[in-house]
Structure 1
Amino acid sequence: MRVPDGVRTAVNVLLCLAAVVATGWSGREIWLVWDGRRQIDAACGGFVPAGRVLALSEAGGTITHRRLDDDSFDPATGIPRDCEIFSTEAGERHGSSTGSRWFFTGEMGVLPTDRPRVVDNPVEDLVDPRGGRTHPSQPLGGGIAGTVTDNDVTVQLPCEGGTAKGRPVEALWARAALLSRVASEERAHDRDVLAETAVIMANNLADRLGCADRLPDAPDHAPDLSEGPVPAARAEGTCAWYGKSGLAERSPYPDTVVESRTDDGVWDERCGLVLGDGRARSLYLSEADRHDWLSEPQLAGQWSVSLHTYSGPVAENLHLTRTYGDEAPEPAAPGKAGRSAGEPIWWASSVCDGRPQIHTMAVATGYDRLVAPRMEQVFRAYVDDVTARRHCTDTVLPESSAFRAH
């Protein structure tokens, strides 16, 4: 059938208009991607892979970055130490009044650092105080010293032969983070992208500093984040020793744990022991009449014990508490052991593969006055487990007198 000329002309015009619209749309998308890459490179000094950041779920629309100032640069290396990226996609998802929202941060630096690491505070939450799901950090795996949390991935890399402004560098670190948490299964893609991004950042920094080694490619899939707390009897990772000890079967000891998989390459490994609501309330009711100073726990997981092992350069500059004004610092010195003068925090030390390790225990304020003498057994069992697993020597533990109730 012959198509009338008028109809054919109209169809051709519509096709041309559609082509023009499609060309204009694709041209705008190409410009947005190009400008997004430019924004990320400008903010992050070229160390952060722009293509990976643009693959994150909140990277759509217009990309901008926080303007760099004098404080944006690491004095040890002269490079941008953190970069903050904004997008209109994140703004739309979270109802930003400005139309754009900060969604990604890239950070990096060198070790050792002049700034000390401070151990857990005795009032730090190990679980969601509102009783929601808690996702403890997990080792990245794949032969990489790295950790994955519900919103970031951090990696470390030894830096033999590297220098920064004429000073030798022992190791370096890089962190890729989202502002929003990514624990849900639908956000597994973002965790994978963050892992790849952090590894590339570390290798780019290693190139700049002249380090001998590079990290291998990140695993295709970052590890899932298991939920906690779980009953101590089910512990099979960093708290498996506690489940086997039998202590959790009776009060006043914690009956649940928050743990990760074991990985001897991780510089900060944690085991959290938490009193469930039922055991915490039962313990309070049994002790309140004898201790007028004892306050009833009001939040989920308020009574807990946090156990850490720090290794490598982190262990060489570790403080038990933060200092303010003229306060003297309390270093957790390698080769020694003891207790903080003012907080329920204990530390031990050991040597693994020729490098110092510091093991710490922080007991929740209030709960510590009930259980301090019993915590010696807990701390010794924890240190014994870690040092045996990591083949450590020269272990130094606090004296029994350090576990008196204050």
Structure 2
Amino acid sequence: MIGERVRRAVNVALCLTAVVGTGWGGYETYSVLSARSEINAACAGLVPVGKGEGERTFFEAFVTLEPDTRPVQPDEHWAFERSYRPTVDTPLGHGIPGLASDSGVKVKLTCAGKVRRNGAPVEEITAYAGSTTTGYTPVFKGRGQVSGDTRDVLASIAVDVANRTAERLGCESRLPDAPAGIPQAVEDLTPAPRASGTCGWYAKARDQDVLLPDRVVGTRADPDVWTESCGLLMSQVGASQARADGYGDLDPLARDQNWSASLDSWFGTEAENVTLPRLGTDDPVEAAPGKAGRSDEKPAWWASSVCHGKPAVHTLVLGGAAYAERAAPHFAKIFRAYAEDTDKS
């Protein structure tokens, strides 16, 4: 979701280089560049070079200036067998608005000082640094995670790029130095009764309803991030119990028939461009701040509120079609509990 939106945004820097080691690597026009001056020139002086020592790691970095009108959509979390594991981006913490995925780090810097670029106001700077192997695309999504050392370096690069862009544009604010030891994106599924963090509300809200998923995947809550997520996923055991308790018409868990729900929230400028998917069309449903509604084609709801003085949009998207149709009435209380808890946190 980050890639396409950022590529089409106002790009101040687009750079593919080596995080550590002395040179660049890549394909076609990137050729082989080794001098630090060439790296700085290619990256417009925004991406630092020579960080650390050791094996060369390739990355790509992007900068986006907000507000950005490109739409964002919820991630759908699902897992019906061990080889399919959802991940939830984890907050960087330490006062930095940032999130670490399984392949990269994204940070936001609020641009104080009434800065304008090309006549348009600049409210925020978003910088992303992600690991690659071929020089074009992050490759870790859903297939393992970058190492802790690489994640720390990517975070440092993202922060440096945001701060250097802020300096160049004349923004007054800066991000603090990136921390070390950043946790990896969360992929461990937790039994619903032990839910915590962004899913902590679910332990009580689920009660004993067998049609509701019995596992969660979420992160610790962080007031500095611009989005947060909680995935609800039914286990094979839970699905079997539900089918035995009166829901035998539902198909067992499978690739195209997962029993899941994804709950997401966006805050501030990110809340202005949230959309929900429609089946069979590229025309999405706009989840506008200040309103509430649902998508008829695919069971999905949105609600809006104000969190910490900023507009917020909350969404719920259900998984497989048959499960979504049967379980939708059971999720009314779940979505209400989620939105109320998010507003309080």
**TM-score over 0.5 for the pair:** yes
In 2, distance between residues paired with 1:106 and 1:128? 33
- Which is greater in Rg? 1
C-alpha distance in structure 2 between counterparts of 1:308 and 1:300, whole Å = 22
On the 8 A contact 2:110/2:173 being kept in 1, the answer is: yes
Q: How does 1:141-290 map to 2 (within 5 A)?
A: 141-160=93-112, 161-179=114-132, 180-181=139-140, 187-247=147-207, 249-284=208-243
Where relative contact order (Cα < 8 A, 6+ residues apart) is larger, the structure is 2
The alpha-carbon deviation at position 39 of structure 1 amounts to 5.2
- Contact conserved, 1:136 with 1:228, CA < 8 A, in 2? no
8 Å CA contact 2:300–2:315 kept in 1: the answer is yes
Two-structure CA RMSD over aligned residues (Å)? 3.0
When residues 31 and 215 of structure 1 are mapped into structure 2, their CA distance, relative to the original with a 3 A threshold, is: closer
Letter of the structure 1 residue corresponding to residue 34 of structure 2: D
Match of 2:268 in 1: 312
Quote how far apart the aligned CAs of 1:164 are: 1.8
Q: 1:126 to 1:202 in 2, by over 3 A?
A: farther
Asked whether the 8 Å contact 1:309–1:357 carries over to 2, the reply is yes
Identity of aligned residues (%): 39
Matched, 1:369 2:325: yes
- What letter matches 1:187 in structure 2? S
Q: Deviations over 1:28-71 (max 9, x none)?
A: x978898163554344222111223x757433xxxxxxxxxxxx
- Over 3 Å counting, the alpha-carbon distance change for 1:30 and 1:377 in structure 2 is closer
More helix as a share of residues: 1
Report the 3-state secondary structure (helix = DSSP H, G, I; strand = E; otherwise coil) of the residue aligned with 2:109: strand
Structure 2 match to 1:297: 253
Compared CA separation, residues 251 and 170, structure 1 to 2 (3 A): same
* Structure 1 residues 303 and 128, CA gap change in structure 2 (3 angstroms): closer
**Structure 2 counterpart of 1:358:** 313
Q: Report whether the alignment pairs 1:48 with 2:4.
A: no
Tell me how far apart the structure 2 counterparts of residues 336 and 117 of structure 1 sit (CA, whole Å): 17
CA distance in 1, matches of 2:61, 2:262: 28
Following superposition, the deviation at residue 282 of structure 1 comes to: 3.7
Q: Identify if the C-alpha distance between structure 1 residues 362 and 329 changes in structure 2 by more than 3 Å, giving closer, same or farther.
A: closer
**2:91–2:222: 8 Å Cα contact kept in structure 1?**
yes
Q: Deviations over 1:267-309 (max 9, x none)?
A: 11001111012112443466676x4xx5432149921110011
Residue pair 2:80, 2:253 contacting (<8 A) in 1 also: no
> Is contact 2:80-2:254 (8 Å) kept?
no
Q: Which amino acid aligns with 1:153?
A: V
Distance in 2 of aligned mates of 1:234 and 1:301 = 26
- Structure 1: gaps of 5 or more residues: 1-28, 60-102, 390-406
Taking the TM superposition and a 5 Å limit, the aligned residue runs for 1:98-117 are 103-117=58-72
Greater CA drift, 32-41 or 370-379: 32-41
Q: Which runs of 5+ in 2 are unaligned?
A: 1-20, 25-31, 133-138
Query: Does the CA-based 8 Å contact 1:127-1:301 persist in structure 2?
Result: no
Is the partner of 1:339 in helix, strand or coil?
strand
CA 129–104 in structure 1, closer or farther in 2 if over 3 Å, else same: farther
The count of residues paired between Structure 1 and Structure 2 equals 309
Give, in angstroms, the shift of residue 151 of structure 1.
1.1
Quote the Cα distance in structure 2 between the aligned partners of 1:107 and 1:134.
Answer: 25
Q: What is the aligned partner in structure 2 of residue 339 from structure 1?
A: 294
Could you tell me which amino acid in structure 1 is paired with residue 94 of structure 2?
A: G
Distance in 2 (alpha carbons) for counterparts of 1:126 and 1:37? 44
